[in-house]
Structure 1
Amino acid sequence: MSTPTPEIRVGLIGCGRIAGVHRRYLQTTPGVRIVGVCDMDLERARAFGAEAGAEEVCRDAADLLRLPLDAVHVLTPPSSHAETAIAALERGVHVLVEKPMATTAAAAERMQAAAVTAGRILSVDHNRLFDPVILQARQLVAAGAIGNLLSVEAYQGVNVQEGGPAAAPLAMWLNLGPHPLYLLRAFVGEIAEWQAVGGPMGELRAVLRGSQALGFLCFSPGATPYLNALTLRGTKATLHIDLNTMTLLRQRPRRLPSMLTKAALNIDQAAQLVASTVRTSWRVATRRMGTYPGIGVVIRGFHAAVQNQGEPPVSAADGRVVVDLLEQLWTRTHDARATVTRPRPTAPRPSSNGSTVLVTGASGFLGQHVLAALRERGHHVRAMVRFPRLSEEWQDVEEVVAALGDDASIAQALEGVDAVVHCAARVARSGNRADFFRDNVSGTSHLLAAAAAAGVKRFVHVSSIGVYGVPPKAKSITEQTPYDSHPERRGAYTWSKIEADRVVQEFARKGGLSSVILRPGILVGPGGPEFTARLCLGRFGSRVVIVGRRRARLPLCHVADAARAAALAVTARTTCTVYNLVDEGLTQEEWLRQRTAAGWAMRPVYVPPPLALIPAFALEVVTRLAGKSSPLSRYKIRRATASLSYDTARASLELGWKPLTGVRGVVASTEQEDRAVRRLLLTEPARTTDIAAPDYERSSS
């Protein structure tokens, strides 16, 4: 009678988006039990732990590693992979780490040495190696179906918008660059030599000579659509693999007359595409293939190796080689440090008061105008951007390429800085709670700590009036009005902005940094959104559906007025203070009427809030049954359509601020004026993900 295999006790370190994928595969892997989870966001860890059936929930990895564990999955940001994995290995725990194995070859080597010393397995999640289409391609190559393999082309596109303000070009390369590199190695063999060139916005192209074939790498954060593809060229046929759609096409020569060959090729490719699409769709529909299927193979293989003391699907040595390539390719083609790209004061500036101000989110709608306001007041301005974007007109503005998620680049961006105006924030509709926490909460926390360490004297944080709760009737919202008590019902953006506010206030109370928080209304002005509503259900043809009364007043703020407040706050003699920035505003009807007069060709349809509550309730029920949150809740409707007024007396008294530009003339700005603003400030239009705005603006079309 055989002895039953002991159960593997697993801990998950990090409860972000990819952790959900690991959890689902672990829960279907025999002989494995999730014992504990940990995450810096304890609330998120608790919710995740409940879904995972974990017995223990921790905030710190050290606490998790005190549990009796056999293995851990390290699912934290890449910068913490080495430290976390080594700590686990030293506790005698097997480790599966997400890619990249580490951020430097030296760190990866330390990890590998720690695994050898501990006698434990260290494996890396190179999941694409085990996707069905890649396994199929490897079988075809091994069987000689494409003849002798001559070359492999790997293309990795990047959706920059999903990265949020924390994503620098280097961070995106570390996060996604491993995929094409380990796929190339799998087909072309060990890399003997390579040549590479880098371009703007993190573009990278490389030619690699492998032991079996040539490899071509294209990494593109700028090109659209965001392709993820592999092309294998052999002496008999060529394979085209789309890793986004999980389809594989084989292109072969045809012995037909030339005219027939062209038609036959197109028909053959179309037939293969349809067949491959149907096959993949059927696998997904019947649950034979889940999200990130390769991760499931890696997880099952890793735990089989732990149980049987065998070899994991991906060795630590393979992970280290990929990290070494990552590091070398980047350092030889890009400057991995924050770089000041425009310190060229060719024209005289206004007399400077000696202060240097760093503006984060400087390429965003508000950030652009903050640059202008600071320069007009005589400050030396440093614009922090993820990609070089300022136009030639701004000769006297320094442009620093850095990101909130890159501590090294942030430290260099803050050198010699007296004040920071923090405009950067994730406001995009895409992203989950983890994404908003990383960019808006953790990013702000890291920036504060780095600013304090750099000797910064003033920190101006741009928040939102959307953080407030609804006060009793007939009362204006002041800076003392409590936060919304149920921000989670309104979405991850509102919740994250409240948490970021608390981080700034707590840091200031502890004496860490003199801070000011600005809470502007819905930002409007040249270069900004053409349409604004408190709550919009969407556009349908030439009509836009708005929930609320046509005479409801919009809490607007002209972007130039908000920028001027930021400039005033830099030198204000107050600390740990909050200021509302709202104009007297227009009604929804007045705003739309003036937009229509300016050429906006949409007809509004107003839905009374009580009527909108009915479908909202139904949607809440359906999404709750599906285990998801509703995009439209009754609470959000009540909050967005409440009749509110905002008190700005404190800003007037202490900052000397009042709306000078105003919102009543903003709708008269022409398309030519918008283009002029964009031409002056940027080489391309601002991305809406950099706009700091309340959550109900984000609900508009």
Structure 2
Amino acid sequence: MSPIRVGLIGAGYIATWHADALKATPGVTLSAVCDISESAAQGLAEAHGAQAFCDVDALIAAGCCDAVHILTPPHLHEALALQCMSAGLHVLVEKPVAESAAATLRMAEAAQAASVRFHPGHNFLGLPSYQRLKAEMATGSYGRISGCEITWALPLAPLRSGPYNLWLLREPRNLLLELGPHLVAFAHDLFGPVEITHAEASKPALLPGDDPRPQYIRAFGRAGTAEITFTLALVETVDDRSVTLRGSSARARLDFAQDVLVTERENPSDLVVNPLRRQLDLSRQHLGQGLRNAWIQARSLNTRNPYGQSFRGMNAAIYGALAKGAPVDRRFSADSAVAVMQSVEAMIDHLPSKVLQVAAPAVQTRDPKPTAMVIGGTGFIGRALTRRLAAEGRDVRVLSRGRSGPFPDLPDRVETVAASLHDLDQLTQAMEGIEVVFNLAKALETSWADALRNDVGVATRIGMACEKAGVQRLVYTGTIASYDMSDPRHTITEETGFPVDMSDRNLYARSKAECERQLLKLHRERGLPVVIARPGIVVGPGGPLQHWGIGRWHGAGAVRIWGHGRNTLPFVLNEDVADGLVRMIDAPVEGQSFNLIGEPMFSARDYFDAIAEQLGARIRVAPGNLYAFYASDAVKYALKKYALRRHGVIRPSLADWKSRAHFSPFDNSRPKQVLGWRPEPDRAAFVEKAILRANLMGF
């Protein structure tokens, strides 16, 4: 029997999970990947032996698919699903399947009319532990269920640090549309149709332009005999993604993020032994499931984590039924998609109207006439830089993937335009009338070939576009990560060179160093007016709590810092970085570089002590043995290269791992002398800006 050929429409982050799960699904082959980004489509397609397309019409015309997974932003789902279903393709649509229940119903009706299958991507219903929960509930093992609590408590960093142009943040209702289906799908599958009785929201985060988005949403509903509480908590919190059933005989708690099901039951022992037996039973369950999951992870070389297993379970149910000509699994049916979206929409309707309001943008009184362009202007540093330029009276053109940006309060000063970073002509045209270009773009790739294409190639292309457009100054942001910072006896200045051989460095450090090399080559050979800035560990308002420049985070409550954590780190405030970049516009410093490092103040341990003192939040801090990190990475490298046979795998050197601890001190005198730069010198003021005003916890 021929395998079912599946195409992916959309090659973003979630597409990798779908691709890996399809690869592990019997009787299925990944045949095509389609994305408007040619490089994204080709990269994922080549990794899985599939065809790449940049147009859905071309994918359909090629006749290479029997089914497609639609993985684009949600506002595109309906049109794409209708197009594919009318062409006779079965369709799986990532949640939310649409922006409304009415649109979901239209998709279900179109599937029926075309005699194809329409599946919602309720992946967590495919978890093995959820299947056990559902089966035990059906047998009456938990007794009669009176209550159910379904929780999604996971920090949502874009609410506080961007990017703000995501579909998720366009309207308050989008938060429930995006995350609500995870919760409601459980309730609907366990109990049937859910009646929503109340909803409330709190802890708003203010997006640029004082546009609030709720970070804490609770809804109450009823299904059969069960009273159901739905909770969304998006502030910095301990990860709690769970389903708890309260029955007359037991309480069952499914941690669907960890694939762990634990049942707490009464026992008939006397009052002395009873509590001991109860806790021993819970301990036995936790130990057993912990060992089981550890064995699964070790045996699969970390390819079957709970999230990945949820996609595998979903695919097995969907394509197993399709291959056999069996009825659709009701978990992933069109009826389920419609019912879930109806309940999510009911939650939205029960929220107070003021929660759903979007702040009106400022009234535009004139068209901006930009002389400055910021590439990467929607990012952490880019937002601060753009606002600093506008405050100084410059009009700014922000280059973005979309046509909206985080500056609704600056319509007279800031315009957002879309242009491909891979198209020299588009870039040149976008630079018309521009005097200074700030390139803050970066690409976090997983192979050197991709880094050369999407980071080094892009940086070089931007430089060439600046030449063609007659730009007077290009300011490029590199990174101090490109230095060898492993020796505490060696002070780093701008005269310190990068290692001659960067092949044993992490891809980000190596790629940024190569970008600098290519741009300086253009300066020497063709006079490109480039200046290079290398910011340190950037903190401040709009920055994340879980900063990976400090350590390896395990949720919001625990971090393993790089090294012992007692050496002074090269922190710098976001506003000081913006000030340094602006000072590079007119200074006679072409071809030069500057390390933007704040005054020495904090070690990693000092920083977390300050958070505890100022915010009353003690984060669990553990030292990170860099030799252990290096050895562990060596094992992972060997497994990836020889067991999983992955291409382009790199192994960073011991010096690279030590460099992450920033052992080498920095001398920041040069930007102060040449640019007149003055980073914040006062410790109390630094704490005020880096911690108190940074809204690190989200509330």
Q: Could you state the TM-score of these two structures normalised by the residue count of structure 1? A: 0.63
Query: 2:652 is matched with which residue?
Result: 632
Q: Helix, strand or coil: the match of 2:62?
A: coil
Residue correspondence of structure 1 range 338-487 to structure 2 within 5 A: 338-339=358-359, 366=381, 373=388, 377=392, 418=414, 464-466=477-479
Q: Is the 8 A contact 2:67 2:89 kept in 1?
A: yes
Residue in structure 2 matching 1:198, options 187, 196, 201: 201
Residue in structure 1 matching 2:47, options 47, 51, 55: 51
Query: 2:314 is matched with which residue?
Result: 298
166-175 vs 42-51, which moves further: 166-175
Q: Deviations over 1:201-226 (max 9, x none)?
A: 42110110113411110111114211
1:165 aligns with 2:188: no
Partners in 1 of 2:75 and 2:504 — Cα distance?
29
247-256 vs 146-155, which moves further: 247-256
1:152 aligns with 2:154: no
Q: 1:517 to 1:118 in 2, by over 3 A?
A: farther
Residue in structure 1 matching 2:27, options 13, 26, 31: 31
Q: Helix, strand or coil: the match of 1:209?
A: strand
Q: Deviations over 1:80-117 (max 9, x none)?
A: 22222221112111111222212222332232232122
Q: Is the 8 A contact 2:33 2:52 kept in 1?
A: yes
Partners in 2 of 1:327 and 1:563 — Cα distance?
42
Q: Is the 8 A contact 1:623 1:630 kept in 2?
A: no
Q: Helix, strand or coil: the match of 1:34?
A: strand
Query: 2:254 is matched with which residue?
Result: 241
Q: 1:285 to 1:522 in 2, by over 3 A?
A: closer
Q: CA RMSD in A?
A: 6.0
1:189 aligns with 2:192: yes
Query: 2:342 is matched with which residue?
Result: 324
Q: Gaps spanning 5+ residues in structure 2: where?
A: 204-213, 363-367, 417-436, 459-470, 484-492, 495-499, 519-528, 551-559, 610-625, 663-669
Deviation, structure 1 residue 40: 3.2
Q: Is the 8 A contact 1:158 1:222 kept in 2?
A: yes
28-37 vs 62-71, which moves further: 28-37
Partners in 1 of 2:374 and 2:55 — Cα distance?
32
Q: Is the 8 A contact 1:526 1:674 kept in 2?
A: no
Q: Helix, strand or coil: the match of 2:188?
A: helix
Query: 2:229 is matched with which residue?
Result: 216
1:100 aligns with 2:121: no
Deviation, structure 1 residue 262: 2.4
Q: Deviations over 1:189-211 (max 9, x none)?
A: 21133211011242110110113
Q: Deviations over 1:206-250 (max 9, x none)?
A: 110113411110111114211111110112221111112222222
Partners in 2 of 1:463 and 1:272 — Cα distance?
54
1:541 aligns with 2:558: no
Partners in 2 of 1:102 and 1:485 — Cα distance?
50
Query: 1:658 is matched with which residue?
Result: 675
Q: Could you state the TM-score of these two structures normalised by the residue count of structure 2? A: 0.63
1:115 aligns with 2:115: no
Query: 1:311 is matched with which residue?
Result: 327
Query: 2:183 is matched with which residue?
Result: 180
Deviation, structure 1 residue 261: 2.5
Partners in 2 of 1:626 and 1:172 — Cα distance?
40
Q: 1:179 corresponds to which letter in structure 2?
A: H
Q: Deviations over 1:406-462 (max 9, x none)?
A: 9788696675554579999889x9x979xx99xx99xx9xxxxxxxxxxxxx9x999
304-313 vs 486-495, which moves further: 486-495
Q: Is the 8 A contact 1:147 1:235 kept in 2?
A: yes
Deviation, structure 1 residue 568: 7.9
Partners in 1 of 2:381 and 2:581 — Cα distance?
10
1:264 aligns with 2:277: yes
317-326 vs 407-416, which moves further: 407-416
Q: Helix, strand or coil: the match of 1:97?
A: strand
Deviation, structure 1 residue 165: 2.5
Deviation, structure 1 residue 23: 2.7
Q: Deviations over 1:620-653 (max 9, x none)?
A: 676543556336269989x999xxxxxxx9x99x
1:13 aligns with 2:25: no
Q: 1:98 to 1:290 in 2, by over 3 A?
A: same
Q: 1:270 to 1:363 in 2, by over 3 A?
A: farther
Deviation, structure 1 residue 8: 2.3
Q: Deviations over 1:358-378 (max 9, x none)?
A: 999999975796598569747
Query: 2:687 is matched with which residue?
Result: 675
Partners in 2 of 1:262 and 1:620 — Cα distance?
47
Q: 1:176 corresponds to which letter in structure 2?
A: L
Q: Helix, strand or coil: the match of 1:177?
A: helix
1:136 aligns with 2:132: yes
Residue in structure 2 matching 1:522, options 528, 535, 556: 535
Query: 1:78 is matched with which residue?
Result: 74
Q: Helix, strand or coil: the match of 2:61?
A: coil
Partners in 1 of 2:407 and 2:349 — Cα distance?
19
Aligned length: 567
Partners in 2 of 1:148 and 1:265 — Cα distance?
20
Q: 1:541 to 1:225 in 2, by over 3 A?
A: same
Partners in 1 of 2:89 and 2:246 — Cα distance?
42
267-276 vs 628-637, which moves further: 628-637
